[in-house]
Amino acid sequence: MAVGDASFPQMPAIPGVRLGTAMAGIKKANRRDLVVIQAPAGARIAGVFTRNAFCAAPVTVAREHLATEQEARYLVINTGNANAGTGDEGLRDAHATCAELARLTGVAAEAVMPFSTGVIGEPLPMERLLAGLPAALETLGEGSDSWHQAGEGILTTDTRPKGASVTLELGDATVTINGIAKGSGMIQPNMATMLGFVATDATLDQALLEELLRETADRSFNCITVDGDTSTNDACVLISTQRGPAVVGDEAIAIFRNGLQRVMTDLAQAIIRDGEGATKFVTLQVNGATTRQEALDVAFTVAHSPLVKTALYASDANWGRILAAVGRAPVTDFDVTKVTIDLGEIRLVEKGGRAPCYTEEAGSTVMAREEIPIRIDLGRGEQSATVWTTDLSHDYITINADYRS
């Protein structure tokens, strides 16, 4: 199941960013499961990574390599195996993967960043993985098809590849931002089982690149949740080839930030639309909070409630469950009589109870839709936050009870 439009967008080339894929048979035969992304010499790269204390070996190594003086030139991503919970052997395997790709391409091992996703706790099938690298390098290309195939090559339980692209006018010049992402379960704030690879031809200095990646990730990938589980492997990387127009000055930075946010949010929402077993795409907007964190706390409490999620699955406007979830959010001195809850255009709750004008019929009309907006106003302050989530369906259980992920 998945919600909404499944098409993969046309992606303009970003000169110097080349993507190649191979079928290495890491877990299953006959599927793209190995991706190499090449950045041109002189490119800058920023990354954000999982905050799970058990981070996977490739995350450790990617972080290390990103921190060296050596400029990053290659990303190598395998699906089918997360190389997580694999101890010292896992670190050796991640290093060996970088070393082999470095040998094949004539760069330093520290110029390669590794990424893995899939089953936790099993050793990487190194022989097959390494054997696949030459094939992935042979297919390196800049075109839209290369982006599409790379988008497919990083999937696990996803049902479709996820891509987003924007073209921005920066003065007289044009800037492109392309991105691909994967993820459909184990999705929650502070990165999901989520990999995102975004590239732009714009020229940005390293500090700005890192700041904009953090900022936009906080309002996209860190605002989605399928099931509250955080992966050991999450990462999102932003490559700037430094070949296009410079992003300098408040106006240019604002334009670029908006464009980047659009790509990041599109990718994050695509992950939710393809959430495991998802039949609904739910936008939870919390307003009237005293801090953004408070708004996020309420939004995630509702988004993680299995009772709210099963009611969404049933298209049942069971506002009592939403109210109960709001009521148990970690908010101090909570005056519930000031809370309002709206379902789409319908007022559900006010003054601590069902709104007088509410009818089951009106609620059911909204709940029958695939895309459901829920707006909660706490009546305490000026801050807000938006979180995107799915319902909880039989298919979620089937996928996660049957799939060793």
Specify binding-site residues for substrate: 156, 182, 193, 276, 400, 405
The set of catalytic residues is 193
The answer to whether residue 121 forms part of the interface with a second copy (CB under 8 A) is: yes
The answer to whether residue 367 forms part of the interface with a second copy (CB under 8 A) is: no
Which one among 174, 190, 364, 383 touches a second copy, defined by CB under 8 A? 190
The answer to whether residue 368 forms part of the interface with a second copy (CB under 8 A) is: no
Is residue 357 within 8 Å of residue 340, measured between CB atoms?
A: no
The answer to whether residue 327 forms part of the interface with a second copy (CB under 8 A) is: yes
Which one among 32, 128, 321, 380 touches a second copy, defined by CB under 8 A? 321
> Using CB under 8 A, which residues numbered 16 to 75 contact a second copy?
51-55
Q: Which is nearer to a second copy, 171 or 353 (CB)?
A: 353
Is residue 223 within 8 Å of residue 387, measured between CB atoms?
A: yes
Which span (3-11, 104-112, 160-168, 387-395) binds a second copy, by CB under 8 A? 387-395
Tokens linked to 152: 């497919």
Q: To the nearest whole angstrom, how small is the minimum distance from the Cβ of residue 162 to a second copy?
A: 21
- Chain centre distance of CA 290: 27
Which span (1-9, 198-206, 237-245, 306-314) binds a second copy, by CB under 8 A? 306-314
Which span (20-28, 39-47, 204-212, 327-335) binds a second copy, by CB under 8 A? 327-335
Q: What's the one-letter identity of residue 59?
A: V
Which one among 21, 38, 86, 269 touches a second copy, defined by CB under 8 A? 86
Phi, psi of 270 (to 5 degrees): -65, -35
Which residues line the annotated binding site?
156, 182, 193, 276, 400, 405
**Based on the number of CB atoms within 10 Å of its own CB, is 334 exposed (0-12), middle (13-18) or buried (19 or more)?**
middle
The answer to whether residue 316 forms part of the interface with a second copy (CB under 8 A) is: yes
Which span (225-233, 254-262, 266-274, 284-292) binds a second copy, by CB under 8 A? 225-233
Which one among 108, 137, 253, 336 touches a second copy, defined by CB under 8 A? 336
Q: Which is nearer to a second copy, 83 or 146 (CB)?
A: 83
Which one among 353, 368, 369, 371 touches a second copy, defined by CB under 8 A? 353
- Rounded Cα distance between 183 and 195, Å, is 7
Which span (131-139, 209-217, 265-273, 395-403) binds a second copy, by CB under 8 A? 395-403
- Rounded Cα distance between 185 and 219, Å, is 19
- Rounded Cα distance between 223 and 273, Å, is 14
Here's the x/- map for a second copy, 159-188, by CB under 8 A: it reads as: --------------------------xx-x
Residues 15, 5, 221: CA angle, nearest 5 degrees: 65
The answer to whether residue 232 forms part of the interface with a second copy (CB under 8 A) is: yes
The DSSP bridge partners found for residue 235 are 49, 195
The answer to whether residue 105 forms part of the interface with a second copy (CB under 8 A) is: no
- Rounded Cα distance between 267 and 222, Å, is 12
The answer to whether residue 228 forms part of the interface with a second copy (CB under 8 A) is: yes
Q: How is residue 161 annotated by DSSP? A: -
The answer to whether residue 310 forms part of the interface with a second copy (CB under 8 A) is: yes
Helix (H, G, I), strand (E, B) or coil at 166: strand
**Based on the number of CB atoms within 10 Å of its own CB, is 99 exposed (0-12), middle (13-18) or buried (19 or more)?**
middle
Q: Which is nearer to a second copy, 120 or 150 (CB)?
A: 120
Give the CA-trace dihedral at 118, 122, 127, 128, to 10 degrees: -30
- Rounded Cα distance between 138 and 131, Å, is 13
The answer to whether residue 402 forms part of the interface with a second copy (CB under 8 A) is: yes
Residue among 185, 381, 222, 231 at smallest CA distance from 296? 222
Number of Cβ within a 10 Å radius of residue 35: 28
- Rounded Cα distance between 59 and 232, Å, is 8
Binding site for a second copy (CB under 8 A): 51-55, 82, 84-87, 89-90, 119-121, 185-186, 188, 190, 227-232, 304-307, 310-311, 313-314, 316, 318-321, 323-329, 331, 334, 336, 349, 351-354, 392-394, 396-398, 400-402, 404-405
